[in-house]
Amino acid sequence: MATYDGLFDTLGLRDWCDTDASDGPMSMADLMARTQGGDEAGTTALRDLPFPSLDALHDACNAIPQTRDLTSGLETGFLGIRDALRVVVDPLTQPLSWALENTLWVMTETPWWIMIPLLLLATWAVGRSWKIVGFVAAILAGLAFVDHYEVAMQTLAIIFVCAFICVLFGVPIGIAMSRSDRLQNVVTPILDLLQTLPPFVYLIPLIFLFSVTEPKLYGIAVILYAIVPVVRLTNLGIRLVDADVIEAADAFGMTKSQKLFGVQIPLALPNIMAGVNQTIMMSLAMVVIASMVSAPGLGILVLRGIRNLELGVGLVAGLGIVVLAIALDRVTKASLARIDASQANR
C-alpha cells in the first residue's frame, strides 16, 4: 500500500486515480504490505514519510505522472519544434560558422613568422607598452616551443570571433538597457539565467539543433556564456555617468545621440572595457568546455588528457590556457589603463 493512498481516498479521487491503473503484476512492496495486513500495513512511521514528489504520489495515484514522464515530455516537445527552429536559426547563425571557419583557417595557415609579428603589433596598438609586447612574445614563443602553436592559434581564433560578436551585440544591448528601465527589467532576468546556468547545460539543446561538425554549435555556446559581463557593465557604466554632466550637456543643447556618443560612452568606457575583459576571460573558459563538442584548440588536449589519463598532456595544455588567459588579461588591462590615463589628463 502506497504512503499517500489514504490522502486520495479521503479526497474521493480513488476512481480517478485508478483510471490508468494497469492489470500488471503487483509490485513487491505492495505484496509485502498486503501480506502484513492490519494497521501495520496502512501506516507509515513519520520519520519514513517521503516528500510528496511526483514519484511518491504516482505510487498512490496512477493518474499523476512520474518525474521521468516530465523529462521525457520536455524532450519530446523540444524535438517536436526542432525542425521549425532550424529553419529560423540556421540562416541567422550561418555567418558565425563562416567567420569561425575563415578565422581558424587564416590563423592556422598563416606562417608563424607572419602571424606572431601581427599579434605583437596588435598588442602594441592596444596597450602601447613594450613590456606587455615582450610578455606576449615570450608566451607565444613558449607555446610554439612545446609544439602547441597551432592549437593556441585555434583557441585565439575562436576567442577573437566570439568576443568580437559579444561586444558587437552586447554594447548596444547595454546602451538600450541604460536608456529604458522597462527594458532593463526584462533583460536582467535573462542575463541572470545566462550567468547562473552551468556551462555544460548550454551545450544540451545546441547538440540537438546543430551537427557536431558545425562551428556554430560551440560558437553560440561561447557567445551566450560570455556576453553577460559586457552587457551588464555597459549598462552600469552609462547609468553611473554624473547627472551634473548630463545636465551640462542638456544646457549646451545636445541631442540624445550627441550626449550618448560625446559624453556618456566616453565616460563609461572604463566600465565597458572592464566588461570586454571579463567577456574575453569567460570566452576562454567556455572554449575549453566546448571542446567536448568538437571545438578545436587547447581544450582538445585537456580533454584528451582526461580521457586517456595522460597527465603530462593535460597539464601542459592547461598551463597553455593559463598563460593565454594571463596574456589576454594583461593586454586588455593595459588598454583600460590607457583609457583611464587619457581621461585623467583631460
What pLDDT is attached to residue 2? 65
- Which CATH number is 335's domain given? 1.10.3720.10
Grid cell digits, residue 109: 595557415
d(CA 310, CA 302): 9
Residue 301 lies in a domain: yes
pTM of the predicted model as reported, rounded to 2 decimal places: 0.85
Residue 71 lies in a domain: no
Grid cell digits, residue 4: 499517500
Local confidence pLDDT in tens for the 346 residues of the chain = 567 888 878 888 878 887 755 544 555 555 555 555 444 444 446 677 788 888 888 888 888 888 898 899 988 998 899 999 899 999 999 999 999 999 999 999 999 999 999 999 999 999 888 999 999 999 999 999 999 999 999 999 999 999 999 999 999 999 999 999 999 999 999 999 998 998 888 888 888 888 888 899 999 999 999 999 999 999 999 999 998 998 998 888 888 889 999 899 989 998 999 999 999 999 998 988 899 888 999 999 999 999 999 999 999 999 999 999 999 999 998 888 887 777 666 6
d(CA 156, CA 18): 61
**Three-class DSSP category at 212:** coil
**Nearest in space to 219 (alpha carbons), one of 266, 169, 273:** 169
Q: How many domains does the chain have?
A: 2
d(CA 178, CA 234): 8
**Structural domain harbouring 130:** 78-344
d(CA 5, CA 42): 9
Q: Which of 25, 44, 65 is the last residue of a domain?
A: 65
Judge if 174 and 290 occupy the same domain: yes
Which amino acid, 5?
A: D
What pLDDT is attached to residue 39? 46
What pLDDT is attached to residue 40? 47
- If you write DSSP's letter for every residue of 83-134 in order, what string do you get? HHHHHHHHHHHHHHHHHHHHHHHHHHHS-HHHHHHHHHHHHHHHH--HHHHH
**Nearest in space to 151 (alpha carbons), one of 33, 35, 27, 301:** 301
Judge if 329 and 180 occupy the same domain: yes
Judge if 102 and 56 occupy the same domain: no
Judge if 54 and 106 occupy the same domain: no
**Burial label, 271 (beta-carbon count in 10 A; 0-12, 13-18, 19+):** buried
Q: Are 234 and 170 in contact (CB under 8 A)?
A: yes
Distances in whole angstroms, Cα of residue 76 to Cα of each of 65, 71, 85, 300: 15, 9, 14, 32
d(CA 237, CA 60): 56
Number of residues assigned to the chain: 346
What pLDDT is attached to residue 48? 75
CA angle at residue 289 from 283 to 292, to 5 degrees?
135
What pLDDT is attached to residue 324? 94
Judge if 129 and 156 occupy the same domain: yes
Judge if 58 and 157 occupy the same domain: no
